[in-house]
């Protein structure tokens, strides 16, 4: 089959690779009909390169048609249309039973000290082949795949694999009271989904970014926007919009590659130039992130408010503003999304007439799989108004 493979820093290619097959009774194989490029994939494109190997298949936002199932898979059948959550969880372990699917004890990558395995990520999360390919083997298919109806466009359901429940969890974790205020820092795909969800709930939403197309999309959803290129004090600007107090909750939807932290950026790039055998332990022990978005989220929230973090971080020596966090009495909630925990809550909105979250029109680019390498570069460089790319194998 054809699949997008990682070959080196900023180097992904379409290759011929072996077709996936059933390896365990709890496996399924799907024919991919749609797969998307996620902002997290861009972390693999550069900063997390030391944890990848040449030939790794990328991609963790995938849906398609079931081609084959193992003997212990009973809730889906050949021919069914399914969406595949990006984290691989069993549904029956101690963590899964409590709704913490991203910490599944069956698929935890214990040798790396990490949580549940993820599709198409790095050795930190199991090196499981991803879905930017013509076919995908789905481990733990007795629980993971989400059955979706026929007769509606793929893109109404595709984002259930990651960015929609990730945004949903981010808004939930921000713990904003009814009619309260939420600042969304970073208006990439997750940030924009969070804006759509929060405005649909009737919250006062402030979106922060510097990319014109993203700011315009947030306005369309009903948010007030702040362009970081036009203010040196984003938290101050947010306080001006909230009676001098700050928002009830803030959501960092950016993560480790935030702009506005040149020293950290230099350090991250320096680690990336070190041979992998040295870079891996450096990133695990002294690695740092660009914390501009997180610091903005902390500064923007009112006292006794909540900071929610959906953006991915990978550093182990990040200098957090602990005095400010403690003095303001802030709560912090973060982590990989527990996808299936939220599906029953989200699905009625996804199926609602009129597509209230604008899912079918969310992608800015729809491209055949062979154009994926160019799409990665375009997405990373924010060219051609690119907000979200959907690939069609």
pLDDT tens per residue, range 273-298? 545 544 555 455 545 677 889 999 99
Domain boundary among 296, 313, 334: 334
Domain co-membership, 126 together with 158:
yes
The domain in which residue 284 lies consists of: 164-334
**Those residues with Cβ within 8 angstroms of residue 59's Cβ, 6 or more apart along the chain or in another chain:** 4, 35, 36, 37, 41, 119, 120, 130, 131, 132, 133
- Number of structural domains, the chain? 2
Cβ(289)–Cβ(271) under 8 Å?
A: no
Domain boundary among 334, 353, 373: 334
Q: Write out pLDDT tens, residues 97-112.
A: 999 999 999 999 999 9
- Show the CA angle centred on residue 288, arms to residues 286 and 294, nearest 5°: 145
Read off the pLDDT band of 43 (50, 70, 90): confident
- Provide the greatest CA pair distance for the chain: 60
Domain co-membership, 314 together with 358:
no
Q: What are phi and psi of 237, to 5 degrees?
A: -65, -35
pTM of the model: 0.92
CA separation, residue 376 to residues 140, 163, 242, 365, 369 (Å): 29, 17, 38, 11, 11
Domain co-membership, 102 together with 158:
yes
Domain co-membership, 33 together with 146:
yes
Angle at which helix 189-200 crosses helix 163-174, to 10 degrees, equals 60
Domain co-membership, 274 together with 327:
yes
Read off the pLDDT band of 49 (50, 70, 90): confident
CATH of the domain at 24: 3.90.180.10
Domain co-membership, 54 together with 138:
yes
């Amino acid at each position: 089959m054809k699949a997008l493979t990682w070959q080196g820093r900023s180097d992904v290619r379409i290759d011929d690779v072996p077709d996936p097959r059933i390896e365990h009774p709890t496996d399924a194989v799907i024919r991919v009909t749609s797969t998307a490029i996620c902002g997290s994939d861009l972390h693999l494109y550069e900063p997390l390169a030391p944890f990848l190997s040449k030939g790794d298949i990328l991609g963790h936002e995938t849906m398609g048609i079931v081609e084959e199932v193992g003997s212990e898979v009973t809730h889906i059948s050949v021919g069914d249309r399914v969406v595949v959550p990006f984290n691989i969880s069993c549904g029956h372990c101690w963590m899964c039973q409590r709704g913490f699917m991203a910490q599944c004890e069956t698929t935890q990558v214990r040798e790396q000290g990490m949580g549940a395995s993820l599709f198409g990520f790095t050795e930190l999360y199991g090196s499981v082949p991803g879905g930017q390919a013509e076919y995908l083997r789905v481990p733990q298919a007795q629980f993971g795949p989400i059955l979706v109806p026929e007769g509606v466009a793929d893109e109404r359901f595709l984002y259930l694999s990651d960015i929609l429940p990730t945004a949903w969890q981010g808004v939930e974790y921000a713990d904003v009271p009814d009619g309260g205020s939420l600042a969304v820092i970073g208006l990439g795909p997750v940030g924009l989904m969070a804006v759509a969800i929060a405005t649909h709930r009737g919250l006062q939403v402030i979106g922060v970014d510097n990319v014109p197309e993203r700011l315009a999309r947030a306005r369309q959803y009903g948010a007030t926007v702040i362009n970081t290129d036009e203010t040196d004090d984003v938290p101050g600007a947010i306080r001006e919009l909230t009676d001098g107090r700050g928002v009830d909750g803030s959501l960092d939807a950016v993560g480790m590659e935030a702009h506005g932290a040149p020293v950290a950026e230099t350090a991250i790039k320096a680690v990336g130039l070190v041979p992998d055998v040295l870079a891996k332990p450096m990133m695990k022990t002294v690695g740092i992130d660009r914390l501009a978005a997180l610091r903005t989220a902390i500064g923007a929230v009112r006292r006794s408010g909540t900071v929610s973090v959906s953006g991915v971080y990978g550093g182990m020596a990040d200098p957090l503003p602990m005095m400010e966090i403690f003095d303001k009495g802030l709560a912090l909630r973060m982590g990989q999304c527990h996808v299936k925990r939220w599906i029953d809550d989200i699905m009625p909105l996804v199926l609602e007439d009129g597509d209230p979250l604008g899912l079918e029109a969310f992608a800015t680019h729809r491209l055949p799989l062979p154009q994926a390498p160019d799409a990665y570069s375009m997405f990373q460089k924010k060219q051609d108004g690119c907000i979200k790319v959907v690939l069609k194998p």
